[in-house]
Amino acid sequence: MCVAMLAGCSQQYAANNPGATSAATGAGLGAAGGALIGALASGGQARGTVIGALGGAAAGALGGYLWNQHLEAQKQALQRTAQGTGVQVSQTADNRLKLNVPADAGFATGSATLNPRLYPILDQLGQGLQQNPTETVQIIGYTDSTGSNAINYPLSDNRAASVKTYLVSRGISGQRIATRGMGPQDPVASNATAAGRAANRRVDIYVAFPPQPAG
């Protein structure tokens, strides 16, 4: 029963997620398999209850964001394009592709107009999104704590919207892109220093495959 259950999840996961790394599949199945074997050994009424719960948990563990060969290729291409611009490209802990765009590199002070130096990076991002139409995008703008909320929140929102507008102009459906302005919330550094404030002024772009249904 263990083998059949885990094999079923593995097959469904592979079918839903072409290109998924074997490490992601193996990690989820290994954890689920170990827990399931322990439940079977316990016996009694608890066995059935725990097995049922573990089946759902195992499926859920395999159904989060997916890091696959497409995202890895996009990350590497974007890293090459972003060299020397200050834009950082990385894989997040929850398997999303992240572009950290310092506002000082992407926009003039107090402006939501894109700096043309970002165009090649956003063009590369748009190309990857066109090649992978199931990917979704979240764009979040931030400011430092200088100035009033009446200025910072609209500014952060407008900067995120400017990135979306550019991607839409490159043929990406606006329905795939969510934007939000967070103003001075969620700082990544201290606003007490100039360097910290510069780090907090940013636009973060996240690209992900949507969560997959349980196997």
Same domain for 84 and 161, yes or no, is: yes
140, two tokens: 């979040």
Q: Quick: pLDDT tens for 126-165.
A: 999 999 999 999 999 999 999 999 999 999 999 999 999 9
Same domain for 73 and 168, yes or no, is: yes
Amino acid at 29: L
Number of structural domains the chain divides into: 2
Tell me the C-alpha distance between 5 and 119, whole Å.
48
Boundary (domain end) residue, out of 13, 41, 61: 61
pLDDT at 36: 44
Confidence of residue 10 (pLDDT cuts 50, 70, 90): very low
Boundary (domain end) residue, out of 44, 61, 78: 61
Same domain for 75 and 55, yes or no, is: no
Q: Are 119 and 157 in contact (CB under 8 A)?
A: no
Boundary (domain end) residue, out of 15, 45, 61: 61
* Helical H segments across 62-187, by residue range: 69-82, 103-106, 119-131, 149-169
Same domain for 160 and 54, yes or no, is: no
**What is the extent of the structural domain holding 57?**
2-61
Q: Does some domain include residue 75? A: yes
Q: Which of 137, 27, 125, 20 is nearest to 69 (CA)?
A: 20
Same domain for 136 and 191, yes or no, is: yes
Same domain for 29 and 106, yes or no, is: no
Q: Which of 124, 180, 135, 118 is nearest to 155 (CA)?
A: 180
Same domain for 8 and 93, yes or no, is: no
Using alpha carbons, list the distances in angstroms from residue 207 to 29, 117, 129, 157, 172: 25, 21, 9, 18, 13
Q: Are 47 and 96 in contact (CB under 8 A)?
A: no
Q: Does some domain include residue 144? A: yes
Q: Does some domain include residue 117? A: yes
51: CB partners within 8 A, 6+ apart: 36, 39, 40
Q: Does some domain include residue 80? A: yes
| Portion of the chain with pLDDT greater than 70, in percent | 68
Q: Does some domain include residue 213? A: no
pLDDT at 44: 52
Tell me the C-alpha distance between 94 and 153, whole Å.
27
Q: Does some domain include residue 102? A: yes
Q: Are 174 and 164 in contact (CB under 8 A)?
A: yes
pLDDT at 175: 98
Strand partners, 91: 97
pLDDT at 76: 98
Same domain for 49 and 75, yes or no, is: no
Same domain for 82 and 135, yes or no, is: yes
Same domain for 111 and 127, yes or no, is: yes
Q: State CA 83 to chain mean position distance.
A: 21
Q: Which of 117, 147, 79 is nearest to 156 (CA)?
A: 147
| Pairing mode of beta strands 136-142, 202-208 | antiparallel
Same domain for 184 and 84, yes or no, is: yes
Same domain for 162 and 197, yes or no, is: yes
Mutual angle of helices 2-16 and 45-61, in 10-degree steps: 20
Q: Quick: pLDDT tens for 54-73.
A: 443 443 444 468 898 999 99
Q: Does some domain include residue 49? A: yes
157, two tokens: 């929102």
pLDDT at 77 > cutoff 70: yes
Q: Does some domain include residue 215? A: no
- CATH number of the domain bearing residue 86: 3.30.1330.60
